[in-house]
Amino acid sequence: MAPLVKRNHWVIRLTHWVNLVAVVLMAGSGMRIFNAHPAFARPGETFPLNPWEGTSIPAWLTFGGWLAGARHWHFAAMWLLVANGLLYLGFLFFHGEWRDIVPRRGDVRDAIEMLKFYLFVRRDHPPQGKHNALQKSAYFAMAVLGIVLVLSGLAIWKPVTLWFITALFVNFKWARFVHFTAMALLLLLALVHVFMVFSVDPYSLRAIFTGWYDRARSPEARNARPFYHLFGGTRPAPSSEAPRP
């Protein structure tokens, strides 16, 4: 029998997939809203920090159809995102899973070792627990970005009523820039996450659907780099089940 371990609690699995829906809705409608004024400069001013001032996001990446439609989607889906985010963060806090992603001393060193491994400087996969140090920092950064997105979102939704939140980001213009930048970083990390799942640890897909994970197929056990099977010199996946044809 496979030495399966329960890796992801059902709350983690549920919030992961609800989050996917919420983030797709929020990012898609948010980019459509952005396209109504795809710049950060106020009228008559410049905004040198953005080299693409005035450049729209390709329409196929957006949805909501038009500004008003996208706003309705954005202000409806935000409740899904926030409720789901609170459930996730509350669960992490009370169930102890925060230990899986909150950085601790030694993570920098471990992250450097992982990078060396991925860059073929180091031969063997560094030992790890549930996540390696790079994964941990990415997941932690995504949670932090989520919080920044909600706060900066409130800041530009209610710049007068919630002026004290807007003031955290200096003013409306900067809050909008932070909101957009945090979204772009979150999408980038999400893309890297999906790439790494399929290229390094496809066996973790089972863990995010059913919760079960086969440790014998972990990247550590297989010494797996991205697309490890395309390179020579890696250990084959040890078969934990009866041989199959």
Partner 1 sequence: MTLDRRRFLGISAASIAGSLLAACDKNPEGAKPLLQLAERANEQVEGGLFRHSAMNHVGAKARLAGPSFPKYFISPTVPVWDPAAGGVWRLEVSGAVRRPLSLTLDDLMKLPRVTQKVDHFCVEGWNARAIWSGVRVSDIARAAGITDDAQYVDFAGFDKGYHESWDMQSAMHPQTLVAYGMDGYLLTPAHGAPARVHSPVKLGYKNTKYLTRVVFMPGRNGGYWSDQGYEWYGGT
The footprint of partner 1 (CB under 8 A) covers 21, 24-25, 28, 33-34, 36-37, 39, 41-45, 63-69, 71-73, 75-76, 79, 157-163, 172-173, 176, 205-206, 209
The residues with which 5 forms a beta bridge, in sequence order, are 213
For partner 1, the closer of residues 33 and 178 by Cβ is 33
Work out how close the CB of 20 gets to partner 1 at its nearest, in angstroms, rounded to a whole number: 8
**End-to-end alpha carbon distance in the chain:** 17
Fill in the DSSP letter of residue 217: G
For partner 1, the closer of residues 192 and 205 by Cβ is 205
Work out how close the CB of 41 gets to partner 1 at its nearest, in angstroms, rounded to a whole number: 8
Work out how close the CB of 165 gets to partner 1 at its nearest, in angstroms, rounded to a whole number: 11
Alpha-carbon span 91 to 171, nearest angstrom: 33
For partner 1, the closer of residues 98 and 157 by Cβ is 157
Contacts of residue 17, Cβ cutoff 8 Å, sequence gap at least 6: 208
Alpha-carbon span 84 to 100, nearest angstrom: 19
**Among the listed residues 193, 241, 243, 195, the one whose alpha carbon sits nearest the alpha carbon of residue 217:** 241
Work out how close the CB of 229 gets to partner 1 at its nearest, in angstroms, rounded to a whole number: 17
For partner 1, the closer of residues 33 and 145 by Cβ is 33
